[in-house]
Structures are given as C-alpha cells and as structure tokens.
Amino acid sequence: MMKKGLVVYKLYRALTHGLSPLIRLHLRWRRFLGLEHPHRWLERLGLPSQPRHAGPLLWFHAVSLGEGMIAVPVIKHCIRRMPHLNVLMTITTMSSFEVLSKSLPSGIILQFSPVDTPTSIHSFLDYWKPNAIVLMESELWPNLIMDASRNGSTEQGIRFQLLQAPPYIINFSGDLKYVIEDFGVNERGRIDIDNLRLELTQKKVWMASSIHSGEEEIILGVHNALMQQQPNTMTIIVPRHPQEGREIAKKLEKEGQNVVLRSQNEKFKPGTDIYVVDTLGELRLLYTLTPIAVIGGSLLPGLSGHNISEAAAAGCAVLTGCHIGHFSHMVLEMQRSNPLSVHQVSGKLELEKALIELFTNATLLEARRRAAKEAFCQLSCGIVENIWSLLNFHIFCRLSADESKSFRL
C-alpha cells in the first residue's frame, strides 16, 4: 500500500513540475479576469510580499472562507498563550482575503497560498521556514506536505498520514466546525443591525442561508405557502455566493415579489417580504436576527450541506435538508446531544410543514432554539484549548528544549 502510494506521489510531483509554466500562465489569466489579487498574485507562486520576523512561526492554511473563519479563534488563543509567536495565515480565494484581512488580529501575516507545484512550495517554505503547519479540514496537497516534512516534521510520519496513518500519529482534539469566533462589531455596524432588528419586530422571520443555485425556487415556493397562512412573514435569503444575490433579487421581482437587496442599504417598504443578503462576512451576525435558520446546500441532489453550528450558536431553531454529505456526522452529533437540536426535512413540503409548525407553536420553537444552543455548547467546549495543548506539547515545548540546549552549548 505504502509503495504504491509513493509511486503515485512521485508521478504527481513530476506532473505538477512539468505543468508549472502552464500554471503560471493560468494564474496570469485569472488575474486578468479578476479572480486573483491584482498586486499579490505572485504569492501564489511562493513569492512573499511581507517580511519574515525572527522567532518560531506557526502556519495556518485554509482553502475556503469558512475554514479561514474557523481558524481565527484558534489563532487568537495561540497569540494569547504565546504573545511572541509569529503566525502566518494562507488562503486561496479573494473573498477569504477580503473578510480575513479585517477579522485577523493585527500582526498576523496574511498571504495567498502557493499553488501545489514543487518550485512554488520550495520557494514558499525556504522563505517562511514554518515550525508547524495547521491544515484546516482534510484537504491534502502532496507537494506541500512532503516538502514541509523534509523541512521539519518526520517524513515517514507524514507519509503514513498521506497513505494510511496508524492511530498513534493522528490526534483528535474536537471538530473545529464547532469553534465560533466572538466577533466585535463597530458602532456603525451595531446601529445598522439594531435598525434592521427594529424593522423586523412585527414580522415572522426565517432565514435561508448558504443557498445554492436552484434552491431559491424551493425557498420561494415555501415563502409563498407561508404568506397564505402568515401574511407578515419575512424571508431572508443569503446566497452561498454573494454575487448571485442581485440575480436572485431580479428574478424574484419579475415574479412579483417585493424584494430589498442588502447591498443597496434600502429601508423596507410597505409590503416588503423578502430580504436578499448579497454581502460577505455577515452571516453570523444575521443569525442573531432570526429565530429560525434553514441551512442551504442541502435541499437538492448533488449538494453536500454546510456548517450548522453558526446558526446553533446564535440560538436559532436549525433546519436542513437531506443532501448534507460529510456534514451528516455533525447533524448526528447534534441530534445525539439533543434530538430537537436539528430538524432534517426531505423537501419543499416537509420544510413548509416544519416552518408553519414553528411559527404557530411558540413552545416548540423555543424548545428547538434552546436545544440547538445547548448541543452546540456541549460539543464546542474545550476544543480550542485542546488544539493549543497539542501544538504546545508537540512543537513549542520541543522548541524551548532545543533553545535551552543551544544556550548550554
């Protein structure tokens, strides 16, 4: 098994090395299309744009915005426990850069991650020389991991992780999806949210978040059914990709819906019953405005769900569809903690029925909200400290010991 895996890795390494010139051209094309940062796209080739300060450096790598946001509380905790620690955060998308550049503590180095070619990875590692890498989620980049192992970690151990790791190599400290950052809101943002909350006071509010293309049809159908029984319904739609918000709003307006788009900063008009959020980085705040959250990416075949913990942390009654992929373990954990914490529905009719029941049964709504919050609190307890303990034991204590030996010598 291991021999076969190493052959595959060597083939992968040779292929990525041979394709390096084409990958560079591809990055230039993406820059032209606005998909790469106009001034920092060379970071994707392993060329740094910021200085590397002396001292130990911990590298966090996240692919998506969600993974990046999960890393923020861990980074803050590490800095609190070890103030002189250098922290490097790498991301891959422009949306991640836009949000994380405002969310990370000052002093944290934010860079675009290098593409997984031998030259880019070597250039990156040779400059930054990280003492440890924290890969968010389970995404593996062979060149990154193998080259990093040669610069520090035991190569044989890393190979086992790539191929088939024995239990003593992998440490489980808890699911980082349950780690939710306590974020601060500036005065302007607080006033904005308070005003929005005031406008929603007399409404029956529910939110459909992380909605993928095609799911808006289901949400609209449910909205229309709710309006027949609850004319003061307010449906908040948060597309998975904010740029799709404007198209969704236009589509709904053509169908006669009274829609307000968040990016336009409009007040609700009489009769407004759909609010489309087309902005980045506000989802956690918006969950505090609604008692009910339907998590999208789960209502159509081929989709694979999204993180439900943010809604649960805000004390929402949490609903999701059945197409949830690897998030199924999270749903099961929450339901084991409290059966009322997450309600799965099989489609439009079940979602309709569940929402009507929550709107008309205040006791059930409160029970589901409390269950979601309690399950989240139970499952999230101690995760960040556990991660710090692992990092401290395996990395920083050894660094301190090595420094002491060097001093004695």
User: CA-CA distance, 60 to 78, in Å (whole number)?
Assistant: 11
DSSP, collapsed to helix, strand or coil, labels residue 83 as coil
DSSP, collapsed to helix, strand or coil, labels residue 317 as strand
Choose the catalytic residue: 67, 216, 310, 352: 67
Buried b (16+ CB within 10 A) or exposed e, 142-175: bbbbbbbbeeebeeeebbbebeeeeeeeeeeebe
Q: Is 181 a catalytic residue?
A: no
Write the CB contacts of 159 (distance below 8 Å, at least 6 apart in sequence). 2, 5, 6, 146, 149
Q: Which long-range contacts (CB under 8 A, 24 or more apart) does 323-332 make?
A: 323/297, 323/298, 323/299, 324/297, 324/298, 327/298, 330/175, 330/177
- Unique residue bearing structure tokens 């301190």: 400
- The CA–CA distances, whole Å, from 361 to 230, 352, 365, 368 equal 13, 14, 6, 11
Residues catalogued as catalytic: 67
